[in-house]
Amino acid sequence: MGLTVVGTGICFPSQMTFEAADAIKMADITLFNVGNHAIATDWLRSNARAFTDLYEFYAEGKNRTESYEEMVDAILTELHAGKTVVAAFYGHPGVFVGPGFEAIKRARKEGFDARMLPGVSAVDCMFADLEFDPAPYGCRMVEATDYVLMDRDYDPRTPLIIWQAGVVGDMTFNIVSGPTSQNTDLLKTRLLRDYPEDHPIISYVAATLAGMKPQTGVATVGTLETLKLNASSTCLVPPVFDHSLDAELGVPFQTQLLQSIREAQDRSATVN
């Protein structure tokens, strides 16, 4: 009896770990949210002893927080019934997945064993596909709405990864309508506080199935709206030129990063 929260990776099934697959097969029930990924959904339905598709708690225009609370309640209900429970989320289950952590917290408070297993996240795919190593300049990650709303200082000499860049300010589930241009404007205004208009920004969507290619787009902060951002987009903003570090590294990091991104674009599906 107890709860295990697992990730199924981004590219399914190749990025699902053996330990996640084993946990799913051995649990009494698996509750999962793998978005609308048909292949992952089919695999989970066939390999879990019993299942609940948590994606059904979303509805067009419904507040996502409400759906997440219902997902946590559903997970806890199965624990209360004395079952061994797995909650599976796409990517890494601890990266931008509130319900996974909340379910663990509530389960432990009620005396159940609960743990999380790591998974392959979108950012892991980005490091590989864009050949972006966070070692030389570090890396800062933000959630887009938080980045726009909160008055925090960011050093533009550190590369910036922006999660949920296509759903700025949108707390509802909108798979049909998608992002609004007004929200992209908010993100652009925030970026312009730290970057010049001609500074590059990259949009990235990792492949979710074997044989698919990642999608990358390059624009400038001033032309952000030309990137076709959607709910799966993550953005990367290269660092502004840092004279001391770039001189030390020999080749300007920004130039090198953009070069590897252009090459990645040539290999992948280019979106602009």
Specify the residue, 183 or 233, whose C-beta has the smaller distance to ligand SAM.
233
Specify the residue, 208 or 246, whose C-beta has the smaller distance to ligand SAM.
208
Alpha carbons 75 and 73: distance in angstroms, whole number: 5
DSSP H helices, 122-242, are 122-129, 144-149, 181-192
What is the nearest approach in angstroms of ligand SAM to the Cβ of residue 245? 27
Residue of 58, 90, 147, 204 marked catalytic: 90
What is the nearest approach in angstroms of ligand SAM to the Cβ of residue 35? 8
> Is residue 16 within 8 Å of 118, Cβ to Cβ?
no
Which residues contact ligand SAM (rule: CB under 6 A)?
A: 10, 89, 91-92, 95-97, 121-122, 163-164, 204-206, 208, 231-234
Angle at 18 between CA 17 and CA 23, to 5 degrees: 100
Is 90 known to be catalytic? yes
> Is residue 124 within 8 Å of 134, Cβ to Cβ?
no
Specify the residue, 15 or 52, whose C-beta has the smaller distance to ligand SAM.
15
Specify the residue, 80 or 267, whose C-beta has the smaller distance to ligand SAM.
267
What is the nearest approach in angstroms of ligand SAM to the Cβ of residue 119? 7
Given CA atoms 126, 252, 271, 213 in this order, what sign does their dihedral have? negative
Is 68 known to be catalytic? yes
Specify the residue, 32 or 163, whose C-beta has the smaller distance to ligand SAM.
163
What is the nearest approach in angstroms of ligand SAM to the Cβ of residue 134? 16
Q: What residues have CB less than 8 Å from 142, skipping those under 6 apart?
A: 154, 160, 161, 162, 163
Q: CA 216: distance to chain centroid?
A: 15
- Which residue type sits at 200? P
Residue of 58, 68, 147, 204 marked catalytic: 68
What is the nearest approach in angstroms of ligand SAM to the Cβ of residue 128? 12
What is the nearest approach in angstroms of ligand SAM to the Cβ of residue 258? 19
Specify the residue, 28 or 133, whose C-beta has the smaller distance to ligand SAM.
133
> Is residue 128 within 8 Å of 260, Cβ to Cβ?
no
Q: What residues have CB less than 8 Å from 94, skipping those under 6 apart?
A: 5, 7, 100, 101, 116, 118
Residue of 45, 49, 58, 64 marked catalytic: 64
Alpha carbons 5 and 101: distance in angstroms, whole number: 8
Is 262 known to be catalytic? no
Task: Please list the active-site residues.
Answer: 64, 68, 90
